[in-house]
Chains A and B, each alone.
Chain A
Amino acid sequence: MKSIILFMLFAVLAMPQQAFAAIGCTLSNPAEDLKYLYPEMTTYKEDLNEFPLLKDGTELFRALRERLGSDLDPIYETYETPYTVYSVFKGQQKIGVVHGVNVPGKGGVIQVFLSMDPQAGAIRKFFFQRLESPAARQLRSKEFLSQFEGLTLGDFYKHDYYATVDPGAKADKVAAITPPAFDPSGRPDYEASLRGIRKNLILVDFFVYGKKFEPYFERAKQAAEKAKARKE
């Protein structure tokens, strides 16, 4: 009995005051999943990216938060979180990039995966690997998922720009996305999914595309600063 009391004391002392996990997001069965996305593929390669191991990792992590426009989750979006990028090949030619992220949803973690064109950075397919949500069926519907095909990170940054200078602009492709019909309890997971897509695109822009969409971010940022100055 004494040992049990000692154990309980140890366990209470060991309780963390806050979570500080580093949790990655990987495909559960890469070969099968990638073959489904790219039927012509011959091989694939996994590359692990971690901010602490990247040149300017601290700065990139700060930049992620700024470009996401919201606080980072202390469990799923830490500085130490590892990110696995899948590069898909046909022979020696790179034909695709696939990357997944975890975002916290109402019903638990949501795993948002994107397959992308290796040159343009445009979304080929958006899919959920894990989605425990009251709106899971609606969010997994082909009609909803297919609306994201062809979008780039640039379109999300343009959405920020239009929201400031020309709300409702016809050129705003992100604003044109129609959410599926779901019970109000499903809205937090819908919004978490959109945030997951944006976060995914930002990270892949850092890891794969050499920050090619930065000019769009800068333009949106300048527009927001000008609008703020006008108000003041």
Chain B
Amino acid sequence: MSQFDMNERGKSASRQSIGFEALKKFSSATATLASIDFQGRLVRRDGFNPVQNDMEGQGRPGWAFEYHNAYLDLYNVLNPLLSDEQRSATVGHFNLRAGRFYVPFGLNLQTDTHGTVLQLSNDRNFGFERDWYTGFWGAINPHVNYDVYYLAGSGYDLKFKGQSGLGAIRISLANKYSYEYGLEGGLSILGGERLSPDAITRRQTLARDAGSENRVATKRVGLDGRYRQAVPTGLLTVTSELSGGRDLSSTVFTQLYQAEYLRASRQWGVSVQYRRFQQEGLGADASIIGEVSWYFRNDIGNSNLHWIKLNVERQLEQMQGPHSTIATLQYYFYQ
């Protein structure tokens, strides 16, 4: 990936990266038992602008090796304890995940935003879009899936500095609704303590409550949905994530609305996103973002991707500092 960005005052930044993904499944004679996934990349950063897809990059100038996904899935983990009848009744119900993956809140768990410039709201909402966690996922019934996890709440690095961690539950529509009706959606609940220097820096008064380790008592409830509709010339998708809760004693409210059009040839698309993160006593960060994409390859399963994107973000409200306009040009290749 090669990305260049610049704000209206001429401050420029760039990020170059080359990486890999390793996915391996393990099977017995009659069952697929487990899989592991690891994404790593070598990154070079020069300068920094707060572009959505690199909010964690501010602290890593120059060369860095980064990991992204790093997790193990064990499928139908209760099978060794069950009879054939019980296995039949519970197939797909109890899968275990351990490692680093998208925070199980909102649509990010079912959306691959690894390469995209436009992101969903978790990074801004929690200070990280991926975390270290373990727990169960699967189907409750043919209509509804679940995810139940304990998260370390530490973001990029797995570390414990006195935080209790986070508990998260997500209930979402089964995939058949996406394929048959173009509809995805879910309800997420998350609570506990996370480490978030950004949240503390934003409000020094909160630092007194948090102590010296940037621990933030966190509560969130979120509702999300995405609807995909074929139109005569392509595909129209509308997305929304809404969440409310508290960071320490401050109430927070996050909104994200996005509309995308993808040409039937899957060769080009346009997107627009409005996002707003409001925190009690501090005001809000809000942006409107437009993006044009040209795809050389745009595999529906995200296994073969090759594109150029031009993304322009206009900050409408800022808790701190002046409003900026940031233009980002991205070249991305994944095979």
Asked whether A and B interact, the reply is yes
Kindly state the separation between the CA atoms of A82 and B47 in the bound complex, as whole angstroms.
40
Pick the interface stretch among A41-49, A51-59, A115-123, A221-229. Answer: A41-49
B32 near A16: Cβ-Cβ < 8 Å: no
Does B331 sit at the interface, judged by CB under 8 A?
yes
In chain A, positions 11-49 with a C-beta closer than 8 Å to chain B are 11, 14-16, 19, 21-26, 28-36, 39-47
B296 near A16: Cβ-Cβ < 8 Å: yes
Does A92 sit at the interface, judged by CB under 8 A?
yes
Chain B interface, number of residues (Cβ within 8 angstroms): 50
A23 near B299: Cβ-Cβ < 8 Å: yes
In chain B, positions 1-19 with a C-beta closer than 8 Å to chain A are 2, 4, 6, 12, 14
Contact (A3, B179) CB under 8 Å given A22-B304, A46-B27, A92-B30:
no
B331 near A108: Cβ-Cβ < 8 Å: no
Does A133 sit at the interface, judged by CB under 8 A?
yes
B32 near A44: Cβ-Cβ < 8 Å: yes
- Contact partner, A7, options B266, B300, B331, Cβ 8 Å: B331
Give B133-149 as 1s and 0s: 1 = Cβ < 8 Å from A's Cβ atoms.
00000110010010000
- Contact partner, B306, options A16, A44, A89, Cβ 8 Å: A16
Contact (A107, B331) CB under 8 Å given A15-B296, A43-B91, A46-B32:
no
Taking chain A's interface residues, is the majority helix, strand, or loop, or is none over half, making it mixed? mixed
Does B87 sit at the interface, judged by CB under 8 A?
yes
B230 near A31: Cβ-Cβ < 8 Å: no
In chain B, positions 290-335 with a C-beta closer than 8 Å to chain A are 296-297, 299-301, 303-304, 306, 308, 329, 331, 333, 335
- Contact partner, A24, options B84, B92, B145, B301, Cβ 8 Å: B301
Across the interface, which residues of B come within 8 angstroms of A75, CB to CB?
297
Q: How large is the interface on A (under 10, 10 to 19, 20 to 34, 35 or more residues)?
A: 35 or more
B142 near A36: Cβ-Cβ < 8 Å: yes
A43 near B31: Cβ-Cβ < 8 Å: yes
Contact (A23, B304) CB under 8 Å given A14-B331, A31-B91, A32-B142:
yes
Kindly state the separation between the CA atoms of A39 and B91 in the bound complex, as whole angstroms.
10
**Shortest Cβ distance from residue B31 to the other chain A in the assembled complex, whole angstroms:** 4
Does A184 sit at the interface, judged by CB under 8 A?
no
B175 near A32: Cβ-Cβ < 8 Å: yes
Does A192 sit at the interface, judged by CB under 8 A?
no
A41 near B88: Cβ-Cβ < 8 Å: yes
Contact (A19, B297) CB under 8 Å given A24-B303, A29-B139, A40-B88:
yes
Across the interface, which residues of B come within 8 angstroms of A87, CB to CB?
30
A42 near B180: Cβ-Cβ < 8 Å: no
B138 near A31: Cβ-Cβ < 8 Å: yes
**Shortest Cβ distance from residue B58 to the other chain A in the assembled complex, whole angstroms:** 19
Does B232 sit at the interface, judged by CB under 8 A?
yes
Across the interface, which residues of A come within 8 angstroms of B95, CB to CB?
31
Kindly state the separation between the CA atoms of A198 and B87 in the bound complex, as whole angstroms.
34
Give A79-114 as 1s and 0s: 1 = Cβ < 8 Å from B's Cβ atoms.
000000001011110000000001000111101000
Kindly state the separation between the CA atoms of A106 and B264 in the bound complex, as whole angstroms.
8
Does B221 sit at the interface, judged by CB under 8 A?
no
- Contact partner, A11, options B87, B179, B299, B308, Cβ 8 Å: B308
Contact (A31, B264) CB under 8 Å given A19-B297, A25-B301, A89-B30:
no
B139 near A4: Cβ-Cβ < 8 Å: no
Does A166 sit at the interface, judged by CB under 8 A?
no
Kindly state the separation between the CA atoms of A26 and B88 in the bound complex, as whole angstroms.
22
Kindly state the separation between the CA atoms of A15 and B331 in the bound complex, as whole angstroms.
10
Across the interface, which residues of B come within 8 angstroms of A3, CB to CB?
4, 12, 14
**Shortest Cβ distance from residue A207 to the other chain B in the assembled complex, whole angstroms:** 16
A45 near B32: Cβ-Cβ < 8 Å: yes
Kindly state the separation between the CA atoms of A134 and B2 in the bound complex, as whole angstroms.
37
Across the interface, which residues of B come within 8 angstroms of A43, CB to CB?
30-31, 76, 79, 87, 91
Does A60 sit at the interface, judged by CB under 8 A?
no
**Shortest Cβ distance from residue A112 to the other chain B in the assembled complex, whole angstroms:** 13
Does B114 sit at the interface, judged by CB under 8 A?
no
Does A132 sit at the interface, judged by CB under 8 A?
yes
**Shortest Cβ distance from residue B241 to the other chain A in the assembled complex, whole angstroms:** 21
A32 near B139: Cβ-Cβ < 8 Å: yes
Contact (A29, B175) CB under 8 Å given A24-B303, A89-B31:
yes
Across the interface, which residues of A come within 8 angstroms of B76, CB to CB?
31, 43
In chain B, positions 248-283 with a C-beta closer than 8 Å to chain A are 264, 266
Across the interface, which residues of A come within 8 angstroms of B60, CB to CB?
none
Does B72 sit at the interface, judged by CB under 8 A?
no
A46 near B25: Cβ-Cβ < 8 Å: yes
List 6 A-B pairs, Cβ < 8 Å: A23-B301, A23-B303, A31-B75, A41-B91, A45-B28, A47-B27
